[in-house]
Amino acid sequence: MTSFPRSDADLLTAHVGGDRDAFAELISRHHRRLYRLARATTRSAEDADDALQDALLAAHRGAPSFRNDAAVGSWLHRIVVNACLDRVRRTRPTEPASDEEFGSIGDCTGQVDTAIVVRRALMRLPIEQRAAVLAVDMQGYSVADAAALLGVAEGTIKSRCARARARLAVLLAP
């Protein structure tokens, strides 16, 4: 008999019901994407690791309160973003990213050079703007979905994205 993989919702339900392996299976499906999100939102690998650990603990504990009104992946995304925002606010409330944080570009290809420049510019944005522009422009969420993920109004996402894009245009100008 062939066993089909369980859906994310089925895994979360099984976890809440006491299946000890379900949550680990669910997280293994999403871990890479969630870590990339945490790394893009925070300023360091250490902050990303800590925020992701906080988020996964919150998801583990909060699973019984999941209402099935969104995809499990979106629910996890929101928990990770919120954990990252909390960590960044606690550790560096208003400090802009410095060029030294990212090291020298060195002798790299044009693509890598561009990626580094864009990452530096993103890290100079206020955390709320960075989260909005990452969700909409880099993760591909709609404005409505990004608003739901970040727990703010759609208009707030639109204004944060507009301000972020304007600031990025200045930071990335030749």
Give the per-residue pLDDT at 107: 43
Give the per-residue pLDDT at 23: 94
- Please name the residue ranges forming H helices in the chain: 8-16, 22-41, 45-62, 72-91, 110-123, 127-133, 143-150, 154-171
Task: Say which residue the tokens 């973003």 belong to.
Answer: 81
pTM of the predicted model over 0.85: no
pLDDT in tens, the chain (174 residues): 446 788 999 999 999 999 989 999 999 999 998 998 888 888 788 999 999 999 999 999 999 998 877 788 888 988 998 898 888 877 764 555 555 554 544 444 556 667 777 888 888 999 899 989 988 988 888 899 888 888 889 999 999 999 999 999 998 887
Cα(87)–Cα(92) distance, rounded to whole angstroms? 8
- Domains, in order of start, for the chain: 7-98 (1.10.1740.10), 105-173 (1.10.10.10)
